[in-house]
Structures are given as C-alpha cells and as structure tokens.
Amino acid sequence: MTRILVGIDGSEPSLRAVEWCAAHADQLGADVVAVHAIAIPVVVAPVSPGFRLPEFKPADREALTKVATEEWCAPLSKASVSFRVVLVDGDPAASIIRAAKTENADLVVTGRRGRGGFAELLLGSTSHALSHHLQRPLLIVP
C-alpha cells in the first residue's frame, strides 16, 4: 500500500494539505500518516542555575493527539481515509524527514507555510527545508 505522510500543525495551510490527502488518498490507494512536530524551545539568554524548560507531559501529548485526530485531520475522517497521527519531538523539517524515512513514506505533503516564519517569505521554513533536504517526493500545497 502507498503511504502518504502529511505535516500538520493546525494552521490553514496545514488544513489544505490534509484536504489534499483526503481528496487523493483513495485514488492513490494510500493510507496517511499525519505528523506533528513538537518543537523543542530554544533558550538563548543566560539562565539561572536550576532553570528547567517546561515539560510536555504525557497528558499534554494525549490532548494534542486528540485535537490532531479529531480537528486537524477531520477531512480524512470525513473522506473515510485510513490515517493515524504521530507526534514527534524536534524541529518540524528534521522531524518530518526522519518520520518519512521511518514510515517509509512514498510521498510527503505539506502546506506552503505553517504557524511560524516571516510573512515576506514565499515558502515557510519547514517547506523550504523539505524542498532542499527531503529525499522523497514532496508536494507543497499552496
């Protein structure tokens, strides 16, 4: 079976990528793996001794998985497309590249822009990085 990996983050471009998968997965005989990267915060300022980054607890992961499954991937459910949600830790582009390899994805689909980045850039940093470093077919949905 063909496997499509779609990057999700709850943004409008991400929703369009999921909608593309919902519209085409059946025609491609594909199941879908929806991947959300939980970015690790970067601390650039000096921190005091004993400083700890906030933890992303298991209950938080469960809640995020529920939102991703029921809301962000709703078009897949509505189209009766077989899918599952995977949460990964790290930079979105690097996480999607790793997940594409781990999941043996035949195609990676992403929105043109996500939640971050600079408005003046044509592509978001994740889609831009994927277009340069992903060793699999990539579809960027406008």
Domains of the chain, with CATH numbers? 2-141 (3.40.50.620)
Encode the chain (142 residues) as per-residue pLDDT tens digits.
Answer: 899 999 999 999 999 999 999 999 999 999 999 999 998 765 555 666 766 666 677 888 999 999 999 999 999 999 999 999 999 999 999 999 999 999 999 999 999 875 554 443 455 688 989 999 999 999 999 8
Distance between CA atoms of residues 63 and 50, nearest Å: 28
Give yes or no for a contact between 39 and 66, defined as CB atoms under 8 angstroms apart.
no
